[in-house]
Amino acid sequence: ASTGFGDACLVAKQVLEAKQGTRFVQVTLGGWDMHGDIYGANGNIAVGNNIFTLGRTFDAGLSGLIADLKAGGLFEKTLVVVAGEFGRTVGALSAQRGRDHFMQQFALMAGGGIK
């Protein structure tokens, strides 16, 4: 199924493929601020997602982007960076069954010659 994030990843690949001198493309998937019911049916009420639906959207879009970049010979020339502005608390869930902000976070880099 097509998603806004997946479509944006496709456009990012097309922009790079056009070889018009693009140096930076940003694709955003918002709605990760899940202070309550992170694993439940309600999830993030503001965007109607929980960690599973957002994770599925993210995984499909990012893996599609990387596969497209590889197929088009652009992966080794393109650095893909995935990061957020903060991490999420670890351990037991909050009283609202969610995760709060945390100073340590996850980041991913792929392509661009990264080993």
Q: Greater confidence, 90 or 47?
A: 90
3-9 long-range CB contacts below 8 Å, 24 or more apart? 3/57, 3/60, 3/61, 5/29, 5/57, 5/58, 5/61, 6/57, 6/60, 6/61, 6/64, 8/61, 9/61, 9/62, 9/64, 9/65, 9/68
Q: Greater confidence, 107 or 49?
A: 107
pLDDT of residue 43: 62
The mean pLDDT of 38-55, rounded to a whole number, is: 76
pLDDT of residue 46: 59
Q: How confident is the model at residue 110 (pLDDT cuts 50, 70, 90)?
A: very high
The mean pLDDT of 61-88, rounded to a whole number, is: 94
